[in-house]
Amino acid sequence: MHRHHHRYKIPKTLRHVTLWVHPEGRVTGALFLNFHTKNGAGVEDPYTVINEASEFLVLQRTDPEGLRFYNKRAIVRVEYEEEPLPHEEGLSTLCCQLLMMDGSLIEGTVRHLLPPGRSRLYDYLNLHDARFVKLYLSDGGVCVVNKSYIVCASHLIERHESETPWLPDAVEIDIT
């Protein structure tokens, strides 16, 4: 009976990711993604998989090798590379900064189709069907962040490399 299980396997592709898991830390491996989305053609997106209702995520670890099942509530963030997408009509683009519980700051851009009149950062963070938010990073990567580990979020004004910030990075105070 068990030797015929291969007939019931759903073919999947592996996508390299880095997880930040509490309390374990950095974990590298690959997610199992379907070759098609629920809406049609194209490989599944890690963002979609991590926001599914299932409580656990399957990861093929690289070091040490092995199959692991991670509780999504313990996953702080997931980082991966993604091909740039063309700009869609009606897509909200919001530059923001997230302060995480561990004190780290994550800066990125939200690109999400939001309804007219509900296209603020506040609206995106409060989407009920998503436990994780997706940020596009300046280095071309993607960071999917667990909303439970966000202390606060703020808007960032997009500035060019040549522009200087309004405030210096550090200020020396001379106490006399």
Q: Of 50, 18, 15, 51, which Cα lies nearest the Cα of 35?
A: 15
CA 166 to chain centre: 29
N-term to C-term CA, the chain: 83
How many residues are given for the chain?
Answer: 176
Does 6 map to a domain?
yes
> Are 56 and 103 members of one domain?
no
Quick one: 99 and 68 in the same domain? Answer: no
Q: Are residues 69 and 104 in the same domain?
A: no
Residue 164 — very low, low, confident or very high, per pLDDT cuts 50/70/90? very low
DSSP code of residue 162: T
Judge whether 133 lies within some domain: yes
Q: Which domain holds residue 67?
A: 2-78
CA 131 to chain centre: 10
Residue 45 falls inside a structural domain: yes
Distance, in Å, from the CA atom of 163 to the CA atom of 160, rounded to the nearest integer, reads: 5
Are the CB atoms for 43 and 170 separated by under 8 Å?
A: no
In a domain, 86, yes or no: no
Q: How many domains does the chain have?
A: 2
Verify that 73 and 7 share a domain, yes or no.
yes
Task: Specify the CATH number for the domain of residue 134.
Answer: 2.30.30.100
**Residue 106 and residue 38 share a domain:** no
Quick one: how far is CA 117 from the chain centroid? 25
The mean pLDDT of 50-78, rounded to a whole number, is: 96
For 28, the enclosing helix (H) or strand (E) is: strand 25-34
Q: What per-residue confidence (pLDDT) applies to 150?
A: 98
Amino acid at the residue 108: G
Position 35 confidence tier, pLDDT thresholds 50, 70, 90? confident
Global pTM value:
0.81
Cα 128 off chain centre by: 16
Picking from 45, 78, 111, the residue at the C-terminal end of a domain is 78
Q: Is the pLDDT of residue 163 over 80?
A: no
Query: Residue 103 falls within a domain, yes or no?
Result: yes
**Do 107 and 146 belong to one domain?**
yes
Query: Is the distance from CB of 77 to CB of 143 less than 8 angstroms?
Result: yes
Reported as a single tens digit per residue, the pLDDT across 94-143 is 999 999 999 999 999 999 988 888 899 999 999 888 999 999 999 999 99
Burial of 172 (0-12, 13-18, 19+ CB in 10 A): exposed
Confidence of residue 24 (pLDDT cuts 50, 70, 90): very high
With pLDDT > 70 as the criterion, what percentage of the chain qualifies? 81
User: What is the per-residue pLDDT across 142-158, written as a single tens digit (0 to 9) for each?
Assistant: 999 999 999 999 999 86
Residue 171 resides in a domain = no
Residue tagged 């093929």 (tokens) = 60
In a domain, 97, yes or no: yes
Is residue 164 one of the residues assigned to a domain?
no
pLDDT over 90, % of the chain: 63
Residue 15 CA to residue 81 CA, distance in Å, equals 9
149 and 105 fall within a common domain: yes
Q: Are residues 112 and 134 in the same domain?
A: yes
